[in-house]
Chain A
């Protein structure tokens, strides 16, 4: 399920950085305090494939999705659509961009205007992106959208208000709303986290089907790394605003390299693991106003070395397009000794296969 090299990315974030102005602080200080929500993140989305973006709350994963949707202007870096840098945060340019890149939000109960019926909500979306179609044609498009997300017969849903539908049904409607634009890219921000367990699978399968059938790219933002393993070709892990590990999902989940990814996996409840090793971790994510120097994970990292406190780790290539930003994978003796203490199980046997063609 990995992405072949021949596929060109449809949407690409290059070195994306977003700093929000922090509230408070002294008015006399010259430099304003900022929240480093996203720092230097590069990510590619491929048509027909799902890329998972995994992280805890506050890791910047939702901000990254909104940056890619151009709902916020970036502080640094650029967004490339089909190889071309695009800046479209307002007006006509934004509308044109929105017809290519659509965002699906987490909470289906909150993402609908409570006083508008499903028909009105969908008609609005259709009208924006298919203004040239006739009224009747637009109405037919709405029914067609509902059918595509398996809400059939459509007449049973069009006249309802959001509060009359279940969470799973609403999330399907919000996918239908995103489909109205016939986009190339879906950005799904935790699309199933607020749904019941038995319904999640149906929504994820629907998203996967749409991704493959329509050859669109899907960014699947989630805190559930196990679902990333099952649904995404690629998985990227964020911690404190930085992308710390990236690669094919099976690689990242089965041979996690970064100590944080290892912690994340060990913490996830998973009865299939049998007797789990007790996790000895009492830390929590750092403040993003004054992020730690060097590697942002070093205050919590059981394997931290001297250089982790001062120098930010570069990206190390572990082969098979699996990369991580952790000093443990540097090519020297100290790192090697430390690395052998972690639960990292290299595969292929040599952890630093530079070339693999």
Chain B
């Protein structure tokens, strides 16, 4: 076990280094980098500007209202003052007010927001009340009045005015965030370890809000600079102190616009606009700087969206729906194939043109009336496969090879991957429907259950009358075992099991041939799970559809499936009839899985389990993906990807297993 864990750790070695590089990568984004450069430029100007200024900004000279020249780069004012020098001095005041106001108001918001959110109770009510009072103060008039009373207090007065009117909003946002963070497991874990409240706030709550705090800080800087400029422009500040707003004030007072002295007001306006833009750009990129998880994600998505190949468009022709033959019970020897997946490969596109295969060379057939169980752990590709079959996969996933052949009731075969949008919509739900794991997320919370079922019918059978539709909805509800009087219930009024039943009712609405169920019972308790599974089996016998049932719960799968497909590392490693699989699993991984389950009846047996962890798909082991954890592995296993070998079983059927121990040419006589 130790060795196996060790190995996996080495496999993901690149982790921390990559995440540190990501800081630089975020800077490498053109927009963020532009923002950072602009911001830094103005910050530097604010600090060293006064020393750079060629003239005293207030010094009067003869060159009145002169256009830009070599002596006066940005021209002069009516009094011959150098505008370039004024701009440099003004940068300091504007930046000082902006940053100062942001520091003060962010400090107030963080203090009030975090305390109110974390302490709760009376402290929360009091602090929230204060914040709410400040929130409803009319900010603009108050700012103007306060500024008018404090005209000679300089920048500090302005900072005070802006902070007082601006902190409450941030406090409210942070309080809400804190409330939700406080309920998270890691905060509870910190509490259970015995940490002090102050430490929990500083270490667990605050760092997780840095993105919001930083965003609100930068937002306040921008806002404060604009407010200062506005106040100065109105003449409400000390007009002898040079800031960009004051320059605009004097330009306005001296009718610069009328006299066409554009150089007087354009630089100040531009500087304000540019700095605002720069700060906003930094703001957009800031989440990626701070969240270690986001640093890695989401790069391939756009690429895959572009990369989805436009397959050939079949001619638009809606085939008449042939009524399907009466349901015949499924037998293991049936050859009535309804869905054929051939060599399917699904890739996740990554950065720098890399791609990670999540599903690789998967081939299987589904027969009419069959329950095909797909088993696999997280990362085995089973859910990606389900989405790919229904073509619901989203970028960055893309189908890069393979075929999915569906046999229509009239016997014609169609390639699902070649269907156009309209045909695909018809195919989904009419022929194949999907039941997802989380019924609460898949149902619309603001629509009644009945309406949601009716919507599915309406979309596909627009000609159906209102009355017929309502009848069908009731029929479906009864079919899945929901009391018809619940038709007007909202999703939240139903229990988890009932919601999952409603999902199944929607899946059945158009009488599909195939239902794909992606972990439909995983979130449910065993007793409810049992009820749902029995319902599915009963409906299947009655209506004769085929089921692709995907789950990690192998014991459940063995009980309900006809055929079992086991996936590991994106490939099928074993395909067998369920009973053969249970009695005699052939792949070492399947054997390990079966030896991981505690059993309830019969004598207690030895549980051996499987050492190590599932493979990292970004960096899969060479050869057979299972070899690092395999007790039977030999040298060739790390070199050759084993194909599926067809093996005879005791029942006279065949089982396919992808393991080199079944290859007579490379096997070293290991046990079969």
Q: Which of A255-287 contact B (CB under 8 A)?
A: 263-273, 276, 278-279, 281-282, 284
The 8 Å CB contact of B6, one of A110, A153, A279, is A153
Asked whether, in the complex, the Cβ of B9 is within 8 Å of the Cβ of A229, the reply is no
Asked whether, in the complex, the Cβ of A270 is within 8 Å of the Cβ of B601, the reply is yes
The 8 Å CB contact of B292, one of A161, A267, A271, A272, is A161
Asked whether, in the complex, the Cβ of B6 is within 8 Å of the Cβ of A152, the reply is yes
Chain B 304-343: CB-based contact to A (< 8 A → 1; otherwise 0): 0000000000000000000000000000000000000000
B15 interfacial contact with A, CB 8 Å: yes
Asked whether, in the complex, the Cβ of B598 is within 8 Å of the Cβ of A229, the reply is yes
The 8 Å CB contact of A226, one of B207, B529, B599, is B599
Q: Looking at the assembled complex, report how far the CB atom of A60 sits from the nearest CB atom of chain B, in whole angstroms.
A: 14
Could you tell me the distance between the alpha carbons of A56 and B186 in the complex, rounded to whole angstroms?
23
Chain A residues contacting B602 (CB-CB under 8 Å) are: 272-273
Q: Which of B576-635 contact A (CB under 8 A)?
A: 582, 592-593, 596-602, 604, 607-611, 613-614
Asked whether, in the complex, the Cβ of A223 is within 8 Å of the Cβ of B525, the reply is yes
Could you tell me the distance between the alpha carbons of A224 and B522 in the complex, rounded to whole angstroms?
13
The 8 Å CB contact of A105, one of B188, B582, B600, is B188
Chain A residues contacting B188 (CB-CB under 8 Å) are: 71, 103, 105, 111
A164 interfacial contact with B, CB 8 Å: yes
Asked whether, in the complex, the Cβ of A282 is within 8 Å of the Cβ of B530, the reply is no
Q: Which of B71-79, B81-89, B163-171, B550-558 contacts A (4 or more CB under 8 A)?
A: B550-558
A347 interfacial contact with B, CB 8 Å: no
B203 interfacial contact with A, CB 8 Å: yes
Asked whether, in the complex, the Cβ of B185 is within 8 Å of the Cβ of A152, the reply is no
Chain A residues contacting B203 (CB-CB under 8 Å) are: 113, 116, 124
- Which residue on A lies nearest to B601, using beta carbons? A273
Could you tell me the distance between the alpha carbons of A17 and B511 in the complex, rounded to whole angstroms?
50
B412 interfacial contact with A, CB 8 Å: no
B527 interfacial contact with A, CB 8 Å: yes
Q: Which of A94-152 contact B (CB under 8 A)?
A: 94-95, 98-99, 102-103, 105-107, 110-116, 124-125, 128-129, 150-152
Asked whether, in the complex, the Cβ of A267 is within 8 Å of the Cβ of B194, the reply is no
A225 interfacial contact with B, CB 8 Å: yes
Could you tell me the distance between the alpha carbons of A205 and B2 in the complex, rounded to whole angstroms?
13
B528 interfacial contact with A, CB 8 Å: yes
Q: Which of A31-39, A78-86, A195-203, A309-317 contacts B (4 or more CB under 8 A)?
A: A195-203
Most B CB within 10 A of own CB, among A69, A111, A225: A111
Size range of the chain A interface in the assembly: 35 or more
Asked whether, in the complex, the Cβ of A150 is within 8 Å of the Cβ of B1, the reply is yes
Could you tell me the distance between the alpha carbons of A267 and B377 in the complex, rounded to whole angstroms?
22
Asked whether, in the complex, the Cβ of A105 is within 8 Å of the Cβ of B559, the reply is no
B293 interfacial contact with A, CB 8 Å: yes
Asked whether, in the complex, the Cβ of B193 is within 8 Å of the Cβ of A181, the reply is yes
The 8 Å CB contact of A253, one of B189, B526, B554, B600, is B600
Asked whether, in the complex, the Cβ of B582 is within 8 Å of the Cβ of A107, the reply is no
A2 interfacial contact with B, CB 8 Å: no
Chain B residues contacting A107 (CB-CB under 8 Å) are: 185
Q: Looking at the assembled complex, report how far the CB atom of A163 sits from the nearest CB atom of chain B, in whole angstroms.
A: 5
Chain B residues contacting A56 (CB-CB under 8 Å) are: 525-528
Chain B residues contacting A279 (CB-CB under 8 Å) are: 527, 530-531, 534
Q: Looking at the assembled complex, report how far the CB atom of B597 sits from the nearest CB atom of chain A, in whole angstroms.
A: 7
The 8 Å CB contact of A198, one of B195, B558, B592, B600, is B592
Asked whether, in the complex, the Cβ of B192 is within 8 Å of the Cβ of A281, the reply is no
A166 interfacial contact with B, CB 8 Å: yes
Q: Looking at the assembled complex, report how far the CB atom of A107 sits from the nearest CB atom of chain B, in whole angstroms.
A: 6
B461 interfacial contact with A, CB 8 Å: no
Q: Given A159-B16, A271-B558: A102 and B614 within 8 A (CB)?
A: no
A230 interfacial contact with B, CB 8 Å: yes
B124 interfacial contact with A, CB 8 Å: no
B479 interfacial contact with A, CB 8 Å: no
Could you tell me the distance between the alpha carbons of A201 and B531 in the complex, rounded to whole angstroms?
27
Asked whether, in the complex, the Cβ of B497 is within 8 Å of the Cβ of A198, the reply is no
Could you tell me the distance between the alpha carbons of A151 and B8 in the complex, rounded to whole angstroms?
11
Could you tell me the distance between the alpha carbons of A168 and B559 in the complex, rounded to whole angstroms?
27
A227 interfacial contact with B, CB 8 Å: yes
- Which residue on A lies nearest to B524, using beta carbons? A57
Chain A residues contacting B597 (CB-CB under 8 Å) are: 197, 226
Asked whether, in the complex, the Cβ of B185 is within 8 Å of the Cβ of A110, the reply is yes
Q: Given A111-B185, A156-B10, A279-B530: A169 and B190 within 8 A (CB)?
A: no
Chain B residues contacting A167 (CB-CB under 8 Å) are: 378
B5 interfacial contact with A, CB 8 Å: yes
Q: Which of B151-192 contact A (CB under 8 A)?
A: 184-186, 188-192
Q: Which of B520-579 contact A (CB under 8 A)?
A: 525-531, 534, 552-556, 558-559
Asked whether, in the complex, the Cβ of B195 is within 8 Å of the Cβ of A226, the reply is no
Asked whether, in the complex, the Cβ of B195 is within 8 Å of the Cβ of A151, the reply is no
Asked whether, in the complex, the Cβ of A103 is within 8 Å of the Cβ of B189, the reply is yes
- Which residue on B lies nearest to A103, using beta carbons? B192
Could you tell me the distance between the alpha carbons of A130 and B613 in the complex, rounded to whole angstroms?
32
Asked whether, in the complex, the Cβ of B186 is within 8 Å of the Cβ of A272, the reply is no
The 8 Å CB contact of B194, one of A99, A166, A225, A266, is A99
Q: Looking at the assembled complex, report how far the CB atom of A120 sits from the nearest CB atom of chain B, in whole angstroms.
A: 8
Instruction: Please name the 6 residue pairs, one residue from A and one from B, whose CB atoms are nearest each other, closest first.
Output: A201-B609, A98-B194, A267-B530, A110-B185, A269-B556, A196-B377
> What are 19 pairs between A and B in contact, CB < 8 Å?
A56-B525, A103-B188, A105-B189, A110-B185, A115-B292, A125-B193, A156-B13, A160-B15, A174-B189, A178-B193, A198-B614, A200-B609, A201-B596, A229-B598, A253-B600, A271-B582, A276-B559, A279-B534, A282-B481
Question: Which residues from chain A sit less than 8 Å from chain B, CB to CB?
Answer: 56-57, 69, 71, 94-95, 98-99, 102-103, 105-107, 110-116, 124-125, 128-129, 150-153, 156-157, 159-161, 163-164, 166-169, 174, 177-178, 180-181, 196-202, 205, 223-227, 229-231, 250, 253, 263-273, 276, 278-279, 281-282, 284
Known A-B contacts: A199-B614, A267-B529. Give 15 more (CB < 8 A): A98-B193, A115-B290, A128-B194, A150-B1, A151-B5, A163-B293, A197-B377, A197-B554, A198-B596, A199-B610, A201-B608, A267-B527, A267-B530, A270-B600, A273-B600
